[in-house]
Structure 1
Amino acid sequence: MLPDRIPSILLVQVITAGVSLALTSIQDQCENLQNTSNITGLACNISTDMIGTCWPRTPAGQLVARPCPEYFQGVQYNTTGNVYRECHLNGSWAERGDYTQCQEILKQEKKSKVHYHIAIVINFLGHSISLCALLMAFTLFLRLRSIRCLRNIIHWNLITAFILRNITWFVMQLTLNHEAHDSNVVWCRLVTIAHNYFYVTNFFWMFGEGCYLHTAIVLTYSTDKLRKWMFICIGWCESWWRVRNDKKNNKKGFFPIGQ
């Protein structure tokens, strides 16, 4: 059983040796401070606290300031602040120093400009591919008159809504900026209203798709009663009513730039 304990014993010895080496280094620095001090009379002797701060020999009754430690337990601290410790009148140090000014440095994660530009390129590339595919589908529905029925007309309008939404997205990204958004100019509001309108129409035309599918499955023989104008009212008119109400409640160009 003894050989199994040898690695653990060696690990403890290594850790102990490392701690002893660190304390020895701090103690050496304190001894250097002691050699340079010429203080006579009652004084607090040179000391090292549990944090590792070295306190030089100090006359009794004085408050000593030392720089904050740069690192402690792997955490980096701001060294512009000071640690304070009092040397009592009887020549003894206060039990603890005042480390309230030592604030840890929080490493704020900043967005890399390279990653930001890559995200913009991917965003534009995705919208471009989507727009090309939608235009191809739109052309097929336009040319193939033989497949026109209520179901495919609903598909066609949904594709049209997606196309218009993508186009207004490109216009908004290429023309709008924070200055135009804050100044609330007329064309800024028109662009954002158009984008929001076509954005909402996507969902209402998908709702129309669902209504038609539900009717075709549940009420099989009732699809003949459905009319095109019903879905046009749901897809285009209802969307405009929603966006118009939103415009009344928001007096600025109510779209965050960059989204």
Structure 2
Amino acid sequence: MRRKCFYVLEVCAIVSLLPSASLADLTCEALLMLSGNVSLQSLAASWNQTLSNATSQWSGSGIYCDTSIDGIGTCWPRSSAGQMVSRPCPEMFYGVRYNTTNNVYRKCLANGTWALKGNYSMCKAILHEEKKGKMHYQIAVIINFLGHCISMVALLVAFFLFLCLRSIRCLRNIIHWNLITAFILRNATWFIVQMTMSPEVHESNVIWCRLVTASFNYFHSTNFFWMFGEGCYLHTAIVLTYSTDKLRKWMFICIGWCIPFPIIVAWAIGKLYYDNEKCWFGKRAGVYTDYIYQGPMILVLVINFIFLFNIVRILMTKLRASTTSETIQYRKAVKATLVLLPLLGITYMLFFVNPGEDEISQIVFIYFNSFLESFQGFFVSVFYCFLNSEVRSAVRKRFHRWQEQHSIRARMTQAMSIPTSPSRVSFHSIKQSTSL
């Protein structure tokens, strides 16, 4: 008790020497400073009692609310009646940290007493913000996982359709088939990464986890280079129509499967010597080895964006030359653009957009990127297999052929299962009896 009184008397002695202009704020600062040495409730009681005796010595006129500490621990300085007073939110309350950049408000009433309660609605718990951010992250992870699962199923169905339908194996559909294969391998390695890369494995940095990372980055790069192959073919077919006969399958195989390999080997060597940790995921500050494979991917996207611009320009020129109405022309152009966006990988450019510091922008950015990145394979399967007129026509013909074969087999089975008629039986029996 003596120690508590000593601190209160010490503060009073300090306050008595301070100028009246800064008396209120500095008094609260002194109180909060001492709150670490004296319990808040006893300090508040002793301080309020001391101030009630010292109020008459302070300069000023009119009705005032005395300096006081509320039940939460916020110190309210001596203020004029009718004034709305603001103080920073408490830094800590019941073990929970709060954002002190916001303010709490309390009114000094006309009779010189404080309002019963302060307005703490602007004080947000940092723990709550962390929980909310963690919740959005978990939802984004679920979207990512479901998107990869749905994309994998769609990609496998599209792959087997291209495998079984030999009648549609032209160069254009072979490019689609290889792009779908690249997405399947990339999604498969994504699932392997999710199942095997635990924090312990990250820290151990074993050889197999580095090989998994290198495989994932290789197949991720093949996605981009096969998208580049799609762009090359479309640009050649639409803009340079006379050159399509010169295109060969081996050219696109070299672009899609061969070129990414030395790029990933160079990246792996750079990682081995300059950033050999955490299974080669992430990057160390000041080390830019990841740009060895990310740089060519960005370059491919830029070239595909140029291809897209030229293709849409040519399409608009041809549509304007046709007899269709202007509304239908724009509708076709917009449809072609939307169809080409996922094929050429232009949506990946959105991943480089900085959402800024705004919380809503960051949440939208997380969800949008999770959706686009995980459903990319699904969009490719839908647009370039399931909605492909050649694929649909071939599937329809195969189905009709199966129906015809099934109906013929059913008729033959039915004919063979018809019982022998009584007349034939009687004739046969008569013939046998005659012979006897």
- Do they superpose with TM above 0.5? yes
CA distance in 1, matches of 2:264, 2:218: 6
**Which of 74, 86, 89 does residue 73 from structure 1 map onto?**
86
Q: Give the structure, 1 or 2, with the largest relative contact order (CA under 8 Å, sep 6 or more).
A: 2
Does the 8 Å contact 2:185/2:219 carry over to 1? yes
* Structure 1 residues 171-192: Cα deviation after superposition (integer angstroms, max 9, x where no partner): 1001111221222101101111
Query: Which residue is equivalent to 1:238?
Result: 259
Does the 8 Å contact 1:205/1:234 carry over to 2? yes
Gaps of 5+ in 2: 1-44, 77-84, 94-122, 284-369, 371-436
CA distance in 2, matches of 1:247, 1:51: 70
**Which of 110, 115, 128 does residue 130 from structure 2 map onto?**
110
Q: Aligned with 1:77: secondary structure?
A: coil
Moved more, 195-204 or 68-77: 68-77
1:255 is the counterpart of 2:260: no
Q: Aligned with 2:130: secondary structure?
A: coil
Change (3 A) 1:209 1:51: farther
Structure 1 residue 124: Cα displacement: 0.9
CA distance in 2, matches of 1:106, 1:48: 39
Q: Which amino acid aligns with 1:143?
A: C
**Which of 175, 181, 184 does residue 163 from structure 1 map onto?**
184
Q: Percent identity?
A: 55
Instruction: Give the 5 Å matches for 1:96-245.
Output: 107=126, 109-112=129-132, 114-245=135-266
Change (3 A) 1:53 1:173: same
Q: Aligned with 2:163: secondary structure?
A: helix
The alignment's TM-score, normalised by the length of structure 1, stands at 0.62
Structure 1 residue 217: Cα displacement: 1.8
* Structure 1 residues 158-204: Cα deviation after superposition (integer angstroms, max 9, x where no partner): 00000111110001001111221222101101111111001011010
Change (3 A) 1:78 1:153: closer
Give the number of aligned pairs: 191
Structure 1 residue 32: Cα displacement: 6.2
Structure 1 residue 207: Cα displacement: 0.3
The structure whose residues are more often helix, as a share, is 2
Structure 1 residue 69: Cα displacement: 3.0
The alignment's TM-score, normalised by the length of structure 2, stands at 0.38
Structure 1 residue 47: Cα displacement: 5.2
Gaps of 5+ in 1: 1-28, 38-42, 56-66, 81-103
Q: Which amino acid aligns with 2:232?
A: C
**Which of 33, 36, 43 does residue 49 from structure 2 map onto?**
33
CA RMSD of aligned residues (A): 3.7
Change (3 A) 1:235 1:78: closer
Change (3 A) 1:70 1:171: farther
